[in-house]
Amino acid sequence: MELDVGALRGDTPGCDGKLIHLNNAGAALMPRPVISAVTSHIALESRVGGYEAATEAADEVESFYAKAAALVGGRPDEIAFVDNATRAWQGAFYAIDWKPGDQVLTARSEYNSHMIAFRHAERRFGIEPILVPDTAEGTVDVEALERLVTSRTRLICVSHMPTNDGMINPAIEVGQVASRHGLPFLLDACQSAGQMPIDVAELGCTMLSTTGRKYLRGPRGTGFLWVQSDWLAKLSPMTLDIGSARWTSIAEFDALSDARKFEHWEANIAGKIGLMTACSYAMTTGIPAIWQRVQLLASRLREIIVEIPGFSVHDRGARKGGIVTFSHAAVPAERLMMALRQEFSINTSVSATQLTRTDLIGRGVAQMVRASVHAYNTEEDLDRFAEALTALARPA
């Protein structure tokens, strides 16, 4: 399938003016069908009431599970709707019955929310987080990972695409290690879902967490968790309510048997419909075609940046995605990001030590600008970006 970039941009109100949005790894621009799905339901709530609107939209709400499952190659009963990727990830992580001395193997480039959770569980449950070494290319070293597996290993956690790097971790190979040792594998796909094709069977993960706001182009405050059906009974969510369990007698309850046991009853119904629409939109557009274009644009962007004096690109890995990180020898990343936004209407973000502390300290990089492309970006966007960087790096 060949992408119609003009049609994508026509579907995207943010592309109507002079804005160049290169912060898709933060939150991408929503297409009109997603905007319409969200605002239409909110309008319905305003007319008939929230509960009543949810009843009227029951078929759309229910169809979310099939759409999300199709996106990752799972089953509808393996999907839970949540309000963001971190909540999805935490739902799976804290559902493990941690015991003192249990070990979790993870990558040095893991996101700060994950690292905080590991250290929190270390203090609370006495577990031991172990950081797996990187390869020379910066990705998690799968051979080292396997050597670190012991009888105390309870979980393997890896981010498919780290937040501060263009690299893609070898998730399939990690999944193979987990399978050989009968271990659960929690994959953070918040940067990869919607950007590249995902098949949970091929990846070999046990749980997968993702968000709606990034490459899926859904609304903020949405995400989902996928849990392999064979593992659902082995995981016990830290919290349950009337949406995830049934109160069967005064002293008894039964948790749901499917992935919805990770949900709470109260939810953003408009957001859920919006995320369903975003999943459908991405699959209709063609994720393989999106992936091909994102890689092409990101590769070109890296070439452009290194050609401008004073700039360095920090992306690692043999395979790279749509995230491009860079810095200038003299101009701080924060200043570049603000100037790009205020003077040139170009959105980027800053990846700082706080996001992936272990990784960035080890690399000796305090801050980087992160520019992240999507399929609706154009070569002209990149040319304007290059002109802006050249101007900002020019001595006063």
Query: pLDDT value at position 355?
Result: 46
Q: How many CB atoms are located within 10 Å of the residue 37 CB? A: 26
CA distances from 39 to 26, 49, 354 (A): 22, 14, 35
Yes or no: say if 226 and 67 are a contact pair by the CB < 8 Å rule.
Answer: no
Q: Is the dihedral of CA 300, 306, 312, 314 positive or negative?
A: positive
Yes or no: say if 229 and 77 are a contact pair by the CB < 8 Å rule.
Answer: yes
d(CA 68, CA 60): 13
d(CA 134, CA 319): 15
> Which of 208, 246, 207, 253 has the alpha carbon at shortest distance from 230?
207
Yes or no: say if 42 and 270 are a contact pair by the CB < 8 Å rule.
Answer: yes
d(CA 73, CA 281): 16
Q: How many CB atoms are located within 10 Å of the residue 331 CB? A: 17
Query: pLDDT value at position 351?
Result: 85
Query: pLDDT value at position 359?
Result: 53
Residue with tokens 């100037």: 339
Yes or no: say if 171 and 187 are a contact pair by the CB < 8 Å rule.
Answer: yes
Query: pLDDT value at position 209?
Result: 98
Query: pLDDT value at position 97?
Result: 96
Q: Which two tokens stand for residue 126?
A: 């006495």
Query: pLDDT value at position 367?
Result: 86
Q: Which two tokens stand for residue 341?
A: 């936004």
Query: pLDDT value at position 358?
Result: 56
Query: pLDDT value at position 93?
Result: 98
In the 3-class helix/strand/coil scheme, how is the chain assigned residue by residue? CCCCHHHHHHCCHHHCCCCEECECCCCCCCCHHHHHHHHHHHHHHHHHCHHHHHHHCHHHHHHHHHHHHHHHCCCHHHEEEECCHHHHHHHHHCCCCCCCCCEEEEECCCCHHHHHHHHHHHHHHCCEEEEECECCCCCECHHHHHHHCCCCEEEEEEECCCCCCCECCCHHHHHHHHHHCCCCEEEECCCCECCECCCHHHHCCCEEEEECCCCCCCCCCCEEEEECHHHHCCCCCCCCCCCCEEEEECCEEEECCCHHHHCCCCCCHHHHHHHHHHHHHHHHHCHHHHHHHHHHHHHHHHHHHHCCCCEEECCCCCCECCEEEEEECCCCHHHHHHHHHHHHCEECEEEECCCCHHHHHHHCCCEEEEEECCCCCCHHHHHHHHHHHHHHHCCC
With H, G, I as helix, E, B as strand and everything else as coil, classify residue 186.
strand
The yes or no reply on domain 5-28+286-393 and CATH 3.90.1150.10 is yes
> Which of 83, 89, 81, 88 has the alpha carbon at shortest distance from 260?
81
Domain residue ranges in the chain: 5-28+286-393, 33-284
Just give the CATH number of 33-284. 3.40.640.10
d(CA 133, CA 108): 7
Split the chain (396 residues) into runs of 10 and give each run's mean pLDDT: 92 96 98 98 98 98 98 98 96 97 95 93 97 94 98 97 92 98 98 98 98 98 98 95 94 95 96 98 98 98 96 93 95 95 97 57 74 98 97 81
Domains 5-28+286-393 and 33-284 share a fold: no
d(CA 386, CA 371): 12
